[in-house]
Homo-oligomer: A and B are copies of this chain.
Amino acid sequence: MTDKNLSQLPPVNAVLNSLTKYGINFQMYDNVRVEPTDHSFLDAIKYAKKGEFDAYVAVGGGSVIDTCKAANLYASSPTSDFLDYVNAPIGKGKPVTVPLKPLIAVPTTAGTGSETTGVAIFDFKELKIKTGIASRAIKPTLGIIDPLHTLSMPERIVANSGFDVLCHALESYTALPYNMRSPCPSNPINRPAYQGSNPISDVWALHALRIVAKYLKRAIRNPEDREARASMHLASAFAGIGFGNAGVHLCHGMSYPISGLVKNYKPKDYNVDHSLVPHGLSVVLTSPAVFAFTAQIHPERHLEAAEILGADIRTARIKDAGFILADTLRKFLFDLNVDDGLAAIGYSKADIPALVKGTLPQERVTKLSPRPQTEEDLSALFEASMKLY
C-alpha cells in the first residue's frame, strides 16, 4: 500500500524487488490519498476485503500507514460498520477484539510516528472534521525505519513533518498524567490508546525533543545532511512511542478543524490536486498559544522544554514558563519560515466559531490537556494563533 507519488520512487521499488526476489505473491494498492478521508479509507478497505491478504506492507507517510491500518482492521472484521471503530463521540469507539493480519510499516517521512502507534486519522467529509480510529490492535507489527528514505523529502515536507514530531513530544510531555485521568474504565479492554503522560512516555518525549532541538533546522536546510535527516527519522519514531502511549492534547485537537475546514491553501512542495493544510503545520501554528495556556499546570515541564529548545532559563521565573516556551516556539518557527499564523493560511476571526465547533468532538485528545478548557478558552486560543510574529 502506498500513494501515487511514492509508487515510482526508491522506497516502494525496494519493497517490490524484495517481495519478488523472495517469491511472495502480492498486489499493490497506490490509491492512498494524502490527508485521507472516510471515502479514501473506504476505497482501501474495499480493496483489502476483496484481496483477502495474509499480510500488509505500508510504504509512505502517515497517510499511507494510517490507511493501511484501517484497511487491515475492517478486512479482519468484515461485518463491522465503518462507524463501529471510529472514535466516540463521532463513531462508536468499540474495542477491537478480532485478530488483525501482520502489518509492516516503512515510513518515508519523519513526522507522524504512525509506524509506532495504534491510531489512524482521516477527514470525515460530511462533518468537515478530522477524526480517527484508536486501538492498540491496529499498531503495526514491525516498523522499518530506513533513513535513506527521507533523503528525497522536499524542504517543506521535512519542516511540516518535523513540526509534528515537535508537538508530539511537547504535548505528550505536558499531557494530563496517567494517574489523573477519570473516570477509570470499567474494564481494561475499554482503556483508551492514549493513557496520559507517564514515566515511560516521558523518556521518549524528552529524548525526541532533544533530537528536534539539535537536528530539525539542519534537516530542513540541508537535504544532504544525512546525520540530521536520519536523526529526525528516529526522533519521529521515538516521539511516536511516547505519544502513542501518552497521547497528545490541544495542538492536535485544534489541528483537526484547521485541516478539515481548509479553504484554498496549497502548500509548497506538496504534489497534490486538492487544497490542504499539512498536518504538522496545522498542529504547530497553535503551539505558542496552547503552551502559554497550559503552563500554569506543570510550569516546570514547560520551562524544561523551553530550555531544551534553546531558551536561557537561568533567571526565568516559574510563573513565566508559558510565555517563555511560547516565545521560544515563535522564534523557532520564524527561523524556519513558517506561515505567520492561521490568517496566513486563509482563516479569519469569522471562522473561529466553526474552528471551535470542530474541536469540541476531539475529546479523545482535548481531555488530555492538563488544563480543562471552555469554548471561550478555545476561541481565545484560535484568536491568539491568527498571527504569530
Residues of A within 8 A of B (CB): 199-200, 203-204, 207, 234, 238
Contact = CB atoms under 8 A, between A and B. Distances in A.
Contacts of A199: 234
Contact of A207 (B203, B234, B238): B203
Nearest to A207: B203
7 contacts: A199-B234, A200-B238, A203-B203, A203-B204, A203-B207, A203-B238, A207-B207
User: What is the copy number of this chain in the assembly?
Assistant: 2
Nearest to A234: B199
Contacts of A203: 203-204, 207, 238
A354 to B, nearest CB: 41
Contacts of A238: 200, 203
Contacts of A200: 238
A234 B202 CA distance: 13
A204 B207 CA distance: 10
A155 B67 CA distance: 54
A323 to B, nearest CB: 29
Nearest to A145: B199
A88 to B, nearest CB: 27
A214 to B, nearest CB: 14
A202 to B, nearest CB: 9
A204 B200 CA distance: 10
Nearest to A199: B234
A304 to B, nearest CB: 14
A199 to B, nearest CB: 6
A309 to B, nearest CB: 19
